[in-house]
Amino acid sequence: MNIAKVIVDVQAKAINQTFDYLIPEKFRDILSEGMRVIVPFGPRKITGFVVGKKEESEFEQLKEIIDVLDINPVLTEELLELGKWVAEDTLTLYITAYQAMLPQVLKAQYKKELIRNTDEELAHELEFLFAGRDVIRYEEFVQSTVPYTTLRNAIQDGAISINYLVKSKVTKKVITFIEPNKEAHLLEEAFMDLSPSAKKQRHVLSFFLEFPEPVEQQKLYNLTNTNRAVIKALVDKGILREYKKEVYRNPYDDTSFEKTLPLPLTKQQEMALHPIIEKIHNHKHDVFLVHGVTGSGKTEIYLQAIQEVIKQGKEAIVLVPEISLTPQMVKRFKGRFGSDVAVMHSALSNGEKYDEWRKIHAKEVKVVVGARSAIFAPFENLGIIIIDEEHETTYKQEDQPRYHARDVAIKRGQYHECPVVLGSATPTLESYARAKKGVYQLATLDKRTNNQALPKVEIVDMRNELHEGNRSMFSIALKREMESGIERGEQIVLLLNRRGYSTFVMCRDCGHVKRCPHCDIALTYHKNSNQLKCHYCGYEERMPHLCPECNSESIRYFGTGTQRVEEALNQLMPHARVIRMDVDTTRKKGAHEKLLKRFANKEADILLGTQMIAKGLDFANVTLVGVLTSDSMLHLPDFRSSEKTFQLLTQVSGRAGRHELSGKVIVQSYTPDHYSIQLASEYDFEKFFLYEMQIRKKFRYPPYVYLALITVSHQNHVKAVQITSRIAQLLLKVVGKDTIVLGPTPSPIARMKDRYRYQCMIKYKNEPELRSTIKKVMDLYADEMRKEDLSITVDMQPYHLM
């Protein structure tokens, strides 16, 4: 077959189709589906994905493929199909979906090199090409006469590998190792010969006498508390030797994880695991919802299910909300499965991400633990997919393609005929409703593994505190509990719920609030730089001394940032040691882990932080959890705000009393009677579910209906309204009579970056044609979108209603 069907990298609606290209003779044997190619497109050369091959084309005079970028396909047949589905389901371009499935490095064209991995004889032509070298530039191969099939075979045998040169740096990292340069008894002699005053050198040698293996230079510095000069002196004397070695940039040092063994399961764990194992054995797809209270041992269930999958020679994907936020989670998977685990998350550098992806692609690992996009891991023999904390909204991508990882997981589970496990202490209403209907299999764990009761929750009415003259952000009860906890040598987690509660600037005299001149939103105060910033467009200005409206001096910032809480805490309890964890203190790579480690080592009494401390943490010594502002989220214009509040309170309460010590939770609130706060304090998920479902039914929200959100934005206000209104009318004409089309209404942020934003929301139960209808409507505006800077976006599963 000498014609390739190619999806090209052009971001335009009109181009969302395959183009035929002729496959030149030299690529004919190796070119296969799922490879990236370079093709001519108009006057340009662009990349594309080969999605099929055929004998004949209805077009004449096809252009030829210029180059092939991969020797092994980067997308499997399954992933090609999956990408097509994702694109169609989310109304995105095929190319956008395919690119979302690959690490960044593979989205661009990078230089490549070929590395010889073996001393054994290569094929004749290859020996000639390498000419005694271990590494050659890929271009040398392209310019040679060596057939592509020969190279492909050598790569498949593992004799040669391809390396992408990212950012002109090699993707592999070079590390310096130090080792003894003499045999043991000679090393001892050398030790004796050293002058007794060379204390540091003697110390290093005594280390090597005990551990004569090579050790990383950096580690050696730490282990022996020494420096470069000392090592260099020993190297110069010929006692030690240094050499450089290429290693994978492994962000996690596998040897540093303590090996763990499967725990004997509790009865409830056993009952949850058993049906999953059954599906694994019978190669059947099914979706399980493991609803287990915090600390009920859900992770141990995942681990043992994966173990079974690995035993069958299959692979596992584990999604966690944003893994950099839960280093403890990585530890648990690496501890059980060691170097069989790849880790993928957004805090890794592009090179590191690529390394992890490549380990999966090369089948060097069995398990991937990762954030949302890890759902596209190129495994070909999946035995299980696990989504931990399935209620987290980070599983929904907010850019194109706007997919939900849960949907993709189920699609892949069906293809591979393997179970999908959703786990949470607070499942989404959507999932729980499905489980109750029997669409998913429900397993309930209502006991903690340590058989401790869930920590008791006390709700403090902050309005009363105010009446009684306590103007601080800490209630009397919280202060009392914190003090007695610290006295007993126990630790405290303090949550500041910052969503919808940022630090804005207001004039106390006239009420004027500083807003962004380009977006319809209050500016946020940044203390360090004494500036006001817009979080949507990046606009910034200096904090004013006087109110621009009334010239009063009483302009100041409101709201409670973590910094301010920290200051207040230091005043209230000067002896307490506080670790603050928020976006500011965790920006640096590895900072997150360091802070948690310090807390685990009891270097602080209080861990103060935002949402990021609410989940996944497991510290034995934490007995008190305080929630400073439990209701700040309740008033956001989002129908899920009660659900999110319930989830957050339940999750953060679960951080206390997880081991021997029992725990307590204090929730401060201005709306203590709100059902989501009341029911969270009673850990009554079932009751919350029933109550909230009634509300969703009454107001017609998911899971009773599906939503689609169309957002139109334009610099001209009238135009934005008109187009949204026209779209709403067009849709109204074709949808069924049960379907509701709302709009045009201003988006919750009605202006952003000087563009007016209007939206149209569709609530429907059954509209099989809705996607194609919306597509047709969008096509009407395709020209205007290209030429007039009109933007129309569609979200078929909106989470951020902002």
299 binds ligand ATP (CB under 6 A): yes
Reduced to 3 states (helix: H, G, I; strand: E, B; else coil), residue 30 is coil
Binding mask 440-459 for ligand ATP (x = CB under 6 A): ---------x----------
* Cα 488 to chain centroid, rounded: 37
To ligand ATP, the closest distance from the beta carbon of 622 in angstroms equals 12
Sites for ligand ATP among residues 618-657 (CB under 6 A): 618, 654
Residue 765 CA to residue 736 CA, distance in Å, equals: 9
Q: Count the residues of the shown chain that bind Zn ion, applying the rule CB under 5 A.
A: 15
Return the range that interacts with Zn ion (CB under 5 A); candidates 324-332, 384-392, 451-459, 519-527. Answer: 519-527
Binding residue ranges: 507, 510, 516, 519, 534, 537, 547, 550
Closest distance of CB 153 from Zn ion, Å: 56
Looking at beta carbons only, is 485 or 654 nearer to ligand ATP? 654
| Range in contact with ligand ATP (rule: CB under 6 A) among 53-61, 71-79, 261-269, 274-282 | 261-269
The residues pairing with 313 across neighbouring beta strands, listed in sequence order, are none
Among 180, 292, 378, 485, the residue binding ligand ATP under the rule CB under 6 A is 292
Binding-residue pattern over the window 589 to 608 for Zn ion, x denoting contact by CB under 5 A: --------------------
Which residues sit in the known binding site for Zn(2+)? 507, 510, 516, 519, 534, 537, 547, 550
Out of 165, 175, 537, 600, which residue is the one contacting Zn ion (CB under 5 A)?
A: 537
Give Rg (Cα) of the chain: 30
For ligand ATP, give the closer residue by CB, 73 or 292: 292
DSSP 723-778: HHHHHHHHHHHHS-TT-EEEEEEEEEEEEETTEEEEEEEEEES--TTHHHHHHHHH
Residue 469 tokens, joined: 């003259």
Binder among 266, 585, 676, 681 for ligand ATP (CB under 6 A): 266
Single residue of 294, 585, 611, 630 touching ligand ATP by CB under 6 A: 294
**3-state DSSP: the chain helix, strand, coil percent, rounded to 5?**
35, 25, 40
Nearer to Zn ion, 548 or 736 (CB): 548
Among 1, 66, 223, 510, binds Zn ion (CB under 5 A): 510
CB of 293 to ligand ATP, least distance (A): 7
In whole angstroms, give the CA distance from residue 299 to residue 332.
Answer: 8
Which of 516, 596, 709, 728: binder of Zn ion (CB under 5 A)? 516
**CA 696 to the chain's CA centroid:** 29
Interface stretch with Zn ion, choices 253-261, 396-404, 456-464, 509-517 (CB under 5 A): 509-517
Beta carbons of 616 and 328 less than 8 angstroms apart: yes
- Cα–Cα distance for residue pair 680/669, rounded to 1 Å: 13
Q: Could you give the residue ranges of the DSSP H alpha helices within 131-251?
A: 138-143, 148-156, 184-193, 199-210, 217-224, 228-236
Cβ 250 to ligand ATP, closest distance in Å?
A: 25
Element (H, E) at 416: helix 405-416
Shortest Å, Cβ 292 to ligand ATP: 5
The alpha carbon dihedral of 763, 767, 768, 773 has a sign of negative
Based on the shown chain and the rule CB under 6 A, indicate whether residue 724 belongs to the binding site for ligand ATP. Answer: no
Q: Which is nearer to Zn ion, 238 or 511 (CB)?
A: 511
Q: Which residues does residue 385 pair with via DSSP β-bridges, in sequence order?
A: 317, 420
Contact 294, 651 (CB under 8 A): yes
Helix (DSSP H) and strand (DSSP E) numbers for the chain: 25, 34
Query: Is residue 425 close enough to count as binding ligand ATP by CB under 6 A?
Result: yes
Q: How long, in residues, is the chain?
A: 802
Task: Supply φ then ψ for residue 14, to 5 degrees.
Answer: -65, -20
Nearer to ligand ATP, 300 or 795 (CB): 300
- Scanning 136-144, 284-292, 547-555, 716-724 for contacts with Zn ion by CB under 5 A, the matching segment is 547-555
Residue type, 598: R
* Contact residues: Zn ion, CB under 5 A: 507, 509-510, 512, 516, 518-519, 534, 536-537, 539, 547, 549-550, 552
* Contact residues: ligand ATP, CB under 6 A: 263-266, 269, 292, 294-300, 425, 449, 616, 618, 654
